[in-house]
Amino acid sequence: MNHILIDRFVQLISRYIGLSFREQDLAGLSKKLSDRINILKLSSPEEYYQLLAKGATQSYSYLEERESDSAGFFRRGKQREMSGAREWKELLALLTTGESYFFRDRGQVWLLKNLILPQIINQQRLMWYDGRIERPGLRLWSAGCSTGEEAYSLAILVRELIPDWEDWQIFILGTDINPEAIAKAKLGTYSDWSFRTISAKQKATYFTVEKGKWKIEEDLRRLVTFRYGNLVEEGFLKASDGIEDIDLILCRNVFVYFTAEAIALALDNFYKALRAGGYLITAHAELHGQKLDNFETLVLPQSVIYQRKATIWGEKNSTKRSPVAPLSPGALSSFNFTEKPPVSQTKAESVFSSKPNASQRSSPSKASFPSLSSPQSGSKISLSAAPIVPSSVVPATSEASKKNREHGINKNRNLADSGTESQGKDRVAPEVSPPLALERSELETNVKTLLDLAKTLFQKKAYPEAVAKAREAIKMHPSYLDAYCLIANIYANLGDYQQAEYYCKEAIKLNYRHLEPYYLLAKISEEKGDVEIAKSYLKRIIYLSPLSINAYLELASIYQKEGDTQRAKKMWLNALEIVRGLPDDLTLENDGEITASQLKVYLNQILASK
């Protein structure tokens, strides 16, 4: 094959998939092209060139869509384009022979595990706590994933960093230009060579031996989506494909094979795919000489990483998800790398628990409740599947706030006189460690005594004194969730919603599965007229505890007020379905006491009238 024809093939291949060829690579390329010409029994290299040129007009995804109906497709006179697209599939398998293995590049893996992923995860949790998103999520993309080891490595890290990962919206995508590599990735079966940097514990935990090879755990395999992807193909990024608002892109040891022009095209695609503040990690020095105006370059000891800028000049931020907070090298010192996320409860614990955890004991609301799995006849159960806010602490209306002031309750002045600080400082959670001299049991007894006293004062409407005692309990035990809940209830009664919301969110940070703060936040939001926010909190309760009857009833009430009878009816039906599974004489607590039988009658009457 002459030099001119080889050069034409090089230009075609580079234009279509971005590959670059050195002078020493041309002889090997010529042999591969000649082999394909002979296999196809074509008359000349020119005929093979024309076949590829026509095939390049159809993406591989188009080929996948049409292969299932190839007969009809051929009848439409597209045989040349179809066979050309198929031939690209064969040629790509020869041209791209990428090697991969699990947890490649230990320095970058350390950054992912200890800095980048924890930052994204923590931000998602905080946004969820604040009601800005309905469900925390994570969107990761391994671009040029080869046979899938890198994408599955991300899935393993996600499993280890997010104990409640099943409650998240997790999207992990692996793309590659080589269809054969994608097919192997989807199988998730690997030889020992892929495990040369993985720990024995991880190998035993996430893989099983199958026919002499190692098979990825099925739950992990389902976490990852693999598909063909040409990083330089025009129109590659489509919202329908889910390649948008990505938190992190890994594209390592890919650009080393690309032309400078192809790298620039891929970087532009990455910028469009990342959400504001999202991260890009490449192999070392792969972007040398590239224009990186759209990215912040962060030079860390382990690696250089790139963070998408929020906007470029004259462009509005088009990403739908909130930006990742900017990360600077100095941020390394501020991260607690040993701190683990909250441990996920089992599904049974998140519904009705017969043994409330520490955060549920001594609640200022309802007491503990029996298990739903085998409720005792005549026993009591809470409609909310967790302590709910009693009627005595429903957020005060503006009229109630006025009445409080008439009785001389100046919340800011009187609370300060009782040992609390001014409003601004009062909102900072104390950081006082418990006295080391106290034994743990003695400490818990003292804290419980203080909180019991605070509850008594609360019931007597001695709000300033109750807050002071609850804050004393927090000073002794900074993570005592019930004290935060009690203070939130007191401020709600006083009509100080800002303080109430603050302490609710502090409680959620301590245990995001504890439902009481969400109920109070929903009531406060509804009282303030923020109905959509109130609904989001109630939906979050249902998400955390699907059998929370009271949340369905509250949502039904809101929808009914809005005139949305269809949605209200759906909520009542959900509540009725739950109640039908309870013994008729089971007592349900909800501001008053009614039995399951009485609630069924009530719900049936409402539904019959709609």
Q: How far is CA 524 from the centre of its chain?
A: 26
Range list for CATH 3.40.50.150 in the chain:
106-310
Q: What is the CA radius of gyration of the chain?
A: 31
Residues of the chain with CATH 1.25.40.10: 440-538
Write down the pLDDT at residue 280: 97
Architecture of the domain spanning 106-310: 3-Layer(aba) Sandwich (3.40)
Q: What is the mean pLDDT of residues 500-508?
A: 94
Split at pLDDT 50, 70, 90, the class of 2 is confident
**Residue 359 clears pLDDT 60, i.e. is over it:** no
CA 582 to chain centre: 34
Q: What is the pLDDT of residue 321?
A: 66
What pTM was computed for the model? 0.56
Strand order in 207-210's β-sheet? 189-190, 213-216, 207-210
d(C-alpha 366, C-alpha 370), whole Å: 12
CATH of domain 440-538: 1.25.40.10
Give the 3-state secondary structure of residue 38. helix
Axis crossing angle, helix 481-494 with helix 440-459, rounded to the nearest 10: 10
Element counts in the chain: helices (H) and strands (E):
25, 13
State the pLDDT at residue 8.
Answer: 92
| Residue 302 clears pLDDT 90, i.e. is over it | no
Does the structural domain 3-59+83-95 have CATH classification 3.40.50?
no
The angle, 0 to 180 degrees and rounded to 10, between the axes of the packed helices 45-55 and 3-17 is: 10
427 pLDDT higher than 50 = no
| Across 28-43, average pLDDT | 91
pLDDT in tens, 450-484: 999 999 999 999 999 999 999 999 999 998 899 99
Q: How confident is the model at residue 548 (pLDDT cuts 50, 70, 90)?
A: confident
3-state class of 232 per DSSP?
coil
